[in-house]
Amino acid sequence: MAKIAVFGGTFNPIHNGHIKLIESFDSAMNFDEILIVPTNIPPHKISKSLVSGEHRMNMIAAAVKDMPKVKPCDIELKREGASYTFETVRQLKEIYPDDKLFFIVGSDMFLSFEKWRNFEEIFVNVTVCSAAREYGDYEKMLKKAQTYKEKYSAECVVMNFDVLELSSTDVRQAVFNFEEISSLVPEATQEYIYENALYAPEFVHRELIALLKAMLKPSRFKHSLNVSRRAVQLAKIFGGDIKKAYTAGVAHDICKCMDMTQTKAWLSISGEKYSEVFLNSPQLWHAAAGANYLKYELKIDDEDIINAVRYHTSARENMSRLEQIIYLADLTSVERNYPDIDEMREISEKSLEDAMLYALKFIVGDLAKRNLALCEDTVKAYNRAILNTYAK
Ligand SMILES: [Fe+2]
Ligand SMILES: [Fe+2]
């Protein structure tokens, strides 16, 4: 007889608190299989922040991909209508007639179990497992378990784990606010959320993200999403336009993975005369090509966004706030790990000017060391940043 655990909930989205609870129960109970069952929400109850059952299933699948015992299970989603646990239990009893079923429920659910529809039937067929959420809950739950045993011959397992106080609402809010969520959800779930623009403000265009995914290599695509988040974080600190920071940040490398022929075609479309240094610096081309792509292909007519993309590699003299934000977001996005990244991040959150000076000093030195020419815009940007320090 196998031990099958069932963990139900909305999972909008699944998060590290859920994962930790599953792991804690599993190490205590040693289950053979653990099913995560997202609840179906009837259409009239769907709120703006609730994503589809398919997305919730995919986020669970991503979260547990390295946990062989754990599987997402869509029986409630398939059943449609309101999800009643007794129906799920009946269905699972048919699927696993010879196995022992365990239901993992939250402490609040456990304490109010007698309010569940046909709860007596549930008690007959499963062992109900629950963990105390707060100090003080545990004693209350043990008492309840005793009552359930006496009144309904229920089998209950009450644990006093060190639970992770985290809610799906916390995760959704953090995503909406462009905060990092790497400590809140498993990495693969985080990627799924960003790639599908879940829980994001309306100005986050799914079409643009899909286009970037198609045009960029996976690591470049990830970088672009990270830069968009960092750009919004910096825009918030320095009072920049959040929507523009997002758009310029996510699209700044849009032409980075194009072949040379295409890149050159996008460079020439504007009729701009490029300098000799620029033409001999292929590392700068994707920025100018990208600006042209946004302008002529995607019809983005905001000059500040176009220039932020145009100068994100070379920099230039007298950069706008948005141009500085994109330049620095590109250098300080979450996956960057060069030796003085912590210092660079810290400075970039205190002063855009100081951060530009810090970055330009490094880049000028680095290009010189590598026997590479300095393009005119970089020289002017560097000189301006240095001259500004004289004036202080
Ligand atoms: Fe770039
Ligand atoms: Fe970049």
Residue boundaries of the structural domains of the chain: 3-168, 205-391
CA 345/CA 358 separation, integer angstroms: 11
| pLDDT given for residue 357 in this prediction | 97
> What separation in Å is there between the alpha carbon of 227 and the centre of ligand 1?
10
Tell me how crowded residue 167 is: count the other CB atoms within 10 A of its CB.
11
CATH tag, 3-168: 3.40.50.620
Question: Which ligand is nearest to the Cα of residue 257, counting in written order?
Answer: 1
Question: Which ligand is nearest to the Cα of residue 231, counting in written order?
Answer: 2
| pLDDT given for residue 43 in this prediction | 65
Contact 296, 236 (CB under 8 A): no
> What separation in Å is there between the alpha carbon of 64 and the centre of ligand 2?
30
pTM: 0.91
User: Which of the following CATH numbers is that of domain 205-391: 3.30.70.370, 3.60.20.10, 1.10.3210.10, 3.30.1490.190?
Assistant: 1.10.3210.10
Question: Which ligand is nearest to the Cα of residue 310, counting in written order?
Answer: 1
**Is-same-fold flag (3-168; 205-391)?**
no
Contacting residues for 307 by C-beta, under 8 A, at least 6 apart: 291, 320, 322, 323
**What is the 3-state secondary structure of 76-143?**
HHHHCCCCCHHHHHHHHHHHCCCCEEEEEECHHHHHCHHHCCCHHHHHHHEEEEEECCCCCHHHHHHH
> What separation in Å is there between the alpha carbon of 270 and the centre of ligand 2?
22
> What separation in Å is there between the alpha carbon of 204 and the centre of ligand 1?
20
> What separation in Å is there between the alpha carbon of 331 and the centre of ligand 2?
8
- Token digits of residue 77: 């989603």
Contact 332, 312 (CB under 8 A): no
> What separation in Å is there between the alpha carbon of 284 and the centre of ligand 1?
8
| pLDDT given for residue 132 in this prediction | 85
Question: Which ligand is nearest to the Cα of residue 286, counting in written order?
Answer: 1
CA 14/CA 56 separation, integer angstroms: 8
| pLDDT given for residue 317 in this prediction | 96
> What separation in Å is there between the alpha carbon of 252 and the centre of ligand 2?
6
Per-10-residue mean pLDDT, the chain, length 392: 94 95 95 96 74 96 97 92 88 94 90 91 94 83 94 94 86 96 97 95 93 97 97 97 98 97 97 95 97 98 98 97 98 94 97 96 94 96 94 76
> What separation in Å is there between the alpha carbon of 186 and the centre of ligand 2?
24
Question: Which ligand is nearest to the Cα of residue 285, counting in written order?
Answer: 1
> What separation in Å is there between the alpha carbon of 251 and the centre of ligand 1?
10
Cα of 319 vs its chain's centroid, Å: 30
> What separation in Å is there between the alpha carbon of 360 and the centre of ligand 2?
16
> What separation in Å is there between the alpha carbon of 185 and the centre of ligand 2?
25
> What separation in Å is there between the alpha carbon of 224 and the centre of ligand 2?
6
Question: Which ligand is nearest to the Cα of residue 330, counting in written order?
Answer: 2
> What separation in Å is there between the alpha carbon of 286 and the centre of ligand 1?
7
| pLDDT given for residue 45 in this prediction | 67
Dihedral angle sign, alpha carbons of residues 368, 371, 372, 375: positive
Contacting residues for 108 by C-beta, under 8 A, at least 6 apart: 133
Report cis status (omega within 30 of 0) of the bond before 68.
no
> What separation in Å is there between the alpha carbon of 229 and the centre of ligand 2?
12
Question: Which ligand is nearest to the Cα of residue 329, counting in written order?
Answer: 2
Instruction: Report DSSP letters for 368-390, one per residue.
Output: HHTT-PPPHHHHHHHHHHHHHHH
